[in-house]
Amino acid sequence: MRPNKIKEMWRDGKYTTLGWLSIAHGFSAEIMARQGFDALCVDMQHGTSELNDVLPMLQAISQTDTVPFVRVAWNDPAAIMKALDLGAYGIIVPLVNNAEEAALAVSACRYPPDGMRSSGPVRAMHYAGGGDYFEHANDEMIIMAMIETKEGIENLDAICATPGLDAVYIGPADLSYALDMPPRADNPDPTHLATCDKILAAAHKAGIKAVMHCAGAEFAAGAVERGFDMVMLTSDLNSMIAGARAQLDTLKAKTG
């Protein structure tokens, strides 16, 4: 079976990069996959992708060695299993509030006896490389729980201790809400930063990884220095906006 490159890099003590796909299109997914991210995530929660978009986007990503992730819209076992069957090698589950919800997500990602995932990897088996998929899939799939609510913070240690959970993922905007702040990316507020570091410490204490969702390279570099194991650096949509604005601003500046 094709090994999960992210797990290999983590075992080697390396941090990993994640790109974000907010636009539901195979071509933009392919272009992002060719830029050198270690992994790319198809966002079904807040992006424009629906289930019918996921397959061609995963096919586009698989033309490269970039690892395909999907953020599902909710902690729904059916949606998680479908994303895995289509070829996702990592699942990000939003708004996880407690250990029971984390365990539900893990179970949906693991075949029996470790979980309840149903047998039927219609594309995943071919992407993964064939006949030993069932033997190794439980070890290769990555499952992440997003910590971004008041209840999730309160139950942080129990969530991190969930058997089979690979990482916790910080959603900074919703975490800002949980801390009674306006939502924002790359939040410099000391309380927000301290909460992120608390999540990081709890994850590492439990022997799992911590991921920071960033909006730019400067903040992401700081997150790496603080010890985060993966940083989401930028999205297709934000990169397109930033590139277009930069060209327009340069033109206007040069032409007065």
Catalytic residue numbers read 46
Cα maximum dimension of the chain: 68
Let me know: does 194 contact 146? Beta carbons within 8 Å.
Answer: no
**Dihedral sign (CA 7, 8, 13, 15):** negative
> Omega of the bond prior to 172 within 30 degrees of 0, cis?
no
Tell me the DSSP string of 17-65: EEEEE-S--HHHHHHHHTTT-SEEEEESSSSS--HHHHHHHHHHHTTSS
User: How far is Cα 23 from Cα 29, in angstroms, rounded to an integer?
Assistant: 8
The tokens for 17 are 């990069």
Let me know: does 26 contact 162? Beta carbons within 8 Å.
Answer: no
Give the position of tokens 């916790």.
Answer: 168
> What's the full length of the chain, in residues?
256
Question: How many whole angstroms from its chain centre is CA 191?
Answer: 24
Tell me how far CA of residue 10 lies from CA of 27, 62, 192, 195, 254, in angstroms.
Answer: 29, 21, 26, 23, 46
